[in-house]
Amino acid sequence: MKKNLFWTILAGAALVSCVNDDVLEQHNQNKQELTFGNPVLNSQTKVTGEISGTTYPTDENFIVWGIETTGNYQSWGASNAAPFFGPNGVIVTADGHTDGYWHIRYDNDTDDKYYWPSEATHKLTFAACSPARVTDHATVTYDATGLKLEGYEMPAEPNLHFDIMYSPRVLNVTESPVTINFSHALSSIVFQTVKPSVEEGGAYSIKITDITLSGAIENKGTFNYAYDSASGSATGTAGWINRSQTDNAITYDLLNEPFEVPTTSSPIAKVKPFLVIPQTVNSDMKVSITYQIVQQAGETAVELTKDFAFTDFKLPNTNGGFTNAWDMSNRYKYHIHFGKLKEITFAPTVFDWTTTDAGEVEISTSSAAVQEEQQD
């Protein structure tokens, strides 16, 4: 497991342990426990694999770092500032608690607690990232420049994707519960599918048997949330740097199991979540849909595969135009619409005859002519 780094590495595990114990003992003298309220999420909908809606799930944990200041927070290196937690921050969890708050898990022991500074002039400033297990996939640092998740690599199996989130600083807090506001650091790809409810030429069924994403997809990078340098600034600039791909062509299998296409458009429950590092969409990226059509009951299914380049889709941006990028904190819904199956019918047309004047012949009806015809 990669370890979090905070500020500078303290010399030796024993020293770290002593520092943590001293901090805990000092703040235990004040009996107002430091707790966190339900974190707020900047999203409105939910898809499996994402942390969405506006409520943080109780089965997830996050990491918090803290700075203690005398008076208001000014800057990282100010003379009135010192780290409140140890170098790795602390894990905050709702596990084992029924009071509706998130509590600090100290050294993986839920019996230990952190308390607010007893000095009236002392305040705490916090920053956070989620989930705590991101440290298994990246080197997490929090220092004067901001929050960084270095060397993150997307899991090869989409079912293992998880929603990386970050928060701005929460400045000059003096009481519980502390409110954390999370934003999403990744992009989300969602597929919806539908077939017509009115079926011409009789009933039929469409079953999707495979969905794959492939191409030059960037699956490695470093997330960097650089805090503004202005005195007392809470916000910063978030983005991904040093993006790359492990292979020239990566394929992600997104289907858990085949399913029949419904007549109402909705997210496909049997499709795996796909959370991707924000990046420019290129012509090599494509989605492949394999599906079966059965036109009549008892007939053998016809299986077809259709490829779509992601550059064929127009992605709207916040300015009312279009972009060719998957932007951070955005969910992109790709709609798969199957057209109507139509019966083969015929509409014959008969063209009228065209009359052509071919000339004249004369047949004489005189008595002499009649007698001559009879003699012949």
Residues spanned by the domain of 258: 5-337
**For residue range 175-189, what is the model confidence (pLDDT) as tens digits?**
999 999 999 999 988
pLDDT computed for residue 316 by the predictor:
77
pLDDT computed for residue 157 by the predictor:
93
pLDDT computed for residue 347 by the predictor:
53
Asked whether residue 132 is domain-assigned, the answer is: yes
Asked whether residue 153 is domain-assigned, the answer is: yes
pLDDT computed for residue 48 by the predictor:
46
Asked whether residue 362 is domain-assigned, the answer is: no
**For residue range 273-283, what is the model confidence (pLDDT) as tens digits?**
899 999 999 98
pLDDT computed for residue 94 by the predictor:
87
Asked whether residue 372 is domain-assigned, the answer is: no
pLDDT computed for residue 216 by the predictor:
92
Asked whether residue 229 is domain-assigned, the answer is: yes
Asked whether residue 345 is domain-assigned, the answer is: no
Asked whether residue 366 is domain-assigned, the answer is: no
pLDDT computed for residue 39 by the predictor:
82
pLDDT computed for residue 8 by the predictor:
26
Single pTM value for the model: 0.78
Residue ranges of the chain with per-residue pLDDT less than 50: 1-21, 23-24, 26, 28, 44-48, 110, 344-346, 348-367, 369-370, 373
Report the number of distinct structural domains present in the chain.
1
Residue whose entry in the numeric block shows the structure tokens 């990246």:
138
pLDDT computed for residue 300 by the predictor:
79
Asked whether residue 263 is domain-assigned, the answer is: yes
